[in-house]
Structure 1
Amino acid sequence: MGRGRSEIKRIENPTQRQSTFYKRRDGLFKKARELSVLCDVDLLLLLFSTSGKLYHYLSPTVPSVKDLVERYEATTHTKVWTDIRQERRAELEKAEQMCELMEKELRVMTVDDGEQYTVPSLELLEHSLEAAVRKVRSEKDRKIGGEINYLENIIRGRHEERYGLCNKLAHSQASNNEGGGGSTPPSSGLELKLGTPTWIHQTTVFST
């Protein structure tokens, strides 16, 4: 009598979910390599983990990811690279406009010792400087927050790799013990229950 299939649903236990991810990922990439070699197909496989870490496989016969994407564009009549370039061009134009605006504001905020300023004009200049300081502080906090998020993603990625290595080592030692007839559970000396550092979950508050 065959074994019944288990229901496919999200694994709630984080440790078990991460272990299953590494097993299924390795199996998926193995099947991709086999399909590419056995059937002589060009294949690109992209996979992102929950922490945003990228894993990918590209057939050895394909020169680059760009080459395969361009073939995809020609076949489906879509413009993946073109859309990306248009987005970058729009971002560049926006940055140039911001630079021009900041240059104008800088000229307004520059005090010339040879000029005679009235009290209202000085008050206006003071308000402009205060607004500029607030804008600079806000941008600084945004940049710091982005760098912190970037470092947290790197730490989570390293954490996943470490967990995967520990998990593989534990399975390897378990297999060796079973082959040798031993009944003592493996002891790798490594902690397999690796939790995300507590500081990552803390919310950083920036003053504005």
Structure 2
Amino acid sequence: MGRGRSEIKRIENPTQRQSTFYKRRDGLFKKARELAVLCDADLLLLLFSASGKLYHFLSPTVPSVREFVERYEATTHTKVWADIRQERRAELEKVGSMCDLLEKQLRFMTVDDGEEYTVPSLEALEHNLEAAMRKVRSEKDRKIGGEICYLQNIIRGRQEERYGLCDKIAHAETLKDVECGSTSLSNGLDLKLGFN
């Protein structure tokens, strides 16, 4: 009698999961080796574990991973290597131009004692510094305004809470006065009528 089918789902026990991973990985690589040898197939198998460790199998007939991927690109008309390089090159160019711009602005914002400046360049520097100061002041004013609104809301909430407590106290005193008034009234009647 054969084994029954088990449901394929994630193994919750980490030790058992790791043990199963290694056993199945070895079985998968054995099958890949057999397929490559028996059928003379070119095969590249890449496997990443849950921890990110790379395991790979390359059939003996494949000279290198790069050539295999280039063959894949030619067959499927997709770019695996080139897209990554182009994206990185574009990103590097963007970062480089941003660094150049920031260095230029930084050089422009600093005034060295040993360097000669023209009046127009000093006026431009003064204009840029004034614009920067306006931005800083407006941001500071915005932050202070936000803090003021926040504190005003807290004060308003506390005042409403105080008014609510005052109303409760006034209501309690009114009830107390009503109870005291009826007690004193009944005591006075009792004395007049001769009750103890």
Within-5 A mapping of 1:32-47: 32-47=32-47
Higher helix share: 2
- Residues 96-132 of structure 1: CA distance to partner in whole angstroms, max 9, x if unpaired? 21221221132134331257897x949959x99xxxx
- The reply to whether residue 21 of structure 1 matches residue 25 of structure 2 is no
Aligned residue in 1 for 2:74: 74
TM superposition score normalised by structure 1: 0.53
The answer on whether the counterparts of 2:33 and 2:59 sit within 8 Å (CA) in structure 1 is yes
Give the Cα–Cα distance (whole angstroms) in 2 for the partners of residues 105 and 18 of structure 1. 54
Aligned residue in 2 for 1:153: none
- Residues 28-74 of structure 1: CA distance to partner in whole angstroms, max 9, x if unpaired? 11111111112111100001111111111111211111111111111
Give the Cα–Cα distance (whole angstroms) in 2 for the partners of residues 71 and 121 of structure 1. 57
SS in 2 for 1:85: helix
Aligned residue in 1 for 2:105: 105
SS in 2 for 1:56: strand
Aligned residue in 1 for 2:52: 52
State the number of aligned residues. Answer: 127
Give the Cα–Cα distance (whole angstroms) in 2 for the partners of residues 11 and 30 of structure 1. 23
- Residues 158-202 of structure 1: CA distance to partner in whole angstroms, max 9, x if unpaired? xxxxxxxxxxxxxxxxxxxxxxxxxxxxxxxxxxxxxxxxxxxxx
Q: Which runs of 5+ in 2 are unaligned?
A: 137-196
SS in 2 for 1:11: coil
Give the Cα–Cα distance (whole angstroms) in 2 for the partners of residues 2 and 26 of structure 1. 22
SS in 2 for 1:31: helix
Give the Cα–Cα distance (whole angstroms) in 1 for the partners of residues 61 and 2 of structure 2. 40
The alignment's C-alpha RMSD in Å is: 2.8
Aligned residue in 2 for 1:64: 64
Q: Percent identity?
A: 79
Within-5 A mapping of 1:38-187: 38-113=38-113, 121=129, 124=132
SS in 1 for 2:55: strand
SS in 2 for 1:113: coil
TM superposition score normalised by structure 2: 0.56
Give the Cα–Cα distance (whole angstroms) in 2 for the partners of residues 17 and 65 of structure 1. 29
